[in-house]
Amino acid sequence: MASEFALIARHFSRPTPHTVLGVGDDCALIAPRAGHELLVSSDMLVAGTHFLADTDPGRLGWKTAAVNLSDIAAMGGAPRWITLALALPAADEAWIGALAEGFAECCAAHGVDWVGGDTTRGPLTLCATVLGEAPAGCAIRRSGAQPGDEVWISGTPGRAALGLRHLLDATPLAADWQAPCVTALEQPLPRVELGQGLRGIATAMLDVSDGLCGDLAHILAASACGAVLEEAALPLAPLVAACGDPALARRCLLSGGDDYELLFTAPPGQRAAVDRLSARTGLPLHRIGLCTAEPGLRLRGPDGHAVPLAPTGFDHFA
Ligand code: ADP
Ligand code: MG
């Protein structure tokens, strides 16, 4: 088995062009830009809880970086530096090499330097900590939504939940939807360009990791308002095409997690700006509802009637 230090030298020491000092000393040294605030976030992935133990290591490495970068994107920040702490049951070098490659690839795609970490023996667990920057005062929090703001979601949320059901043999998917749904689950794309583009446009934002309703409820609680979602505006068609079951499609869209799409609110006067950003990023942005002074989350069906929606996000301790 390779030693901890050989593993670090071979797989975890990468070029860090945006960093004063990278891997190899007791700490990395970074120099944030003047006039910027630092954003810091950690995300841990535990085998059996957050991923299937037989997941392809390259994809797992990608996802570990992506879910961390997504948190920076969700506040309108630019992700800049990341560390990776690893607990590994055994030093399977091919597996570790593939994991490191996938992690580094996602970082490189967004100009993020992998500046350090920790490597230890233990039950398979991956924990990354990412640092990002935003001009002082410009990060987009969860607390800024106002009654009258519109609710938007990026991309095609619900695909990752369908991908998981496909892998677990719970739901057969149409042949041409299998790869997109499994890729949405295993290699999510952090919406980094979109997040920064929404500075000055979005009033509140987060990335959907635990389900659209549950995560929207976090914005509503932080902003002390409510919202009505329009069923007709939800991007359900691709999910129905994938699984052929409208009720399941709706459930995956509203409460499936793991897509890492951005959910945000913006005043109606910003519609044109949001549409321009959608064109620039090549990412569909769907206007799915409206914030209300009345608290709670409701869904308006085709009959015009709004019914309460349970905030059914994923909760590890529920
Ligand atoms: P220390 O004992 O001083 O904490 P370590 O032996 O844990 O140092 O790590 C040595 C160097 O290797 C440090 O710069 C650390 O950031 C880096 N390192 C260790 N594990 C990883 C990893 N998984 N990814 C990136 N860098 C790592
Ligand atoms: Mg250490």
Please, what is the average pLDDT of the chain?
A: 94
Average of pLDDT values for 144-157?
98
pLDDT at 318: 43
CA distances from 169 to 54, 62, 152, 162, 172 (A): 15, 24, 32, 10, 7
Ligand 1, atom 4: closest residue by C-alpha:
26
Q: Is the pLDDT of residue 315 over 60?
A: no
Position 53 confidence tier, pLDDT thresholds 50, 70, 90: confident
DSSP-based helix, strand, coil % in the chain, nearest 5? 35, 25, 35
Nearest CA to ligand 1 atom 8: 26
Q: What is the pLDDT of residue 52?
A: 85
11 alpha carbon – ligand 2 mean position (Å): 16
- Give pLDDT tens digits for 203-255: 999 999 999 999 999 999 999 999 999 999 999 999 999 999 999 999 999 99
For the cut 90, the answer to whether the pLDDT of residue 63 exceeds it is yes
Angle at 103 between CA 100 and CA 107, to 5 degrees: 135
Per mean pLDDT, which range of 52-66, 143-157, 178-192, 301-315 is the poorest? 301-315
Q: 71-96, pLDDT tens digit by residue?
A: 999 999 999 999 999 999 987 999 99
DSSP state of 290: E
Task: List the structure tokens of 177.
Answer: 């939807």
Closest atom of ligand 1 to 119 CA is 20
What's the gap in Å between 213 CA and the centre of ligand 2?
Answer: 39
Which residue lies with its CA nearest to atom 20 of ligand 1?
118
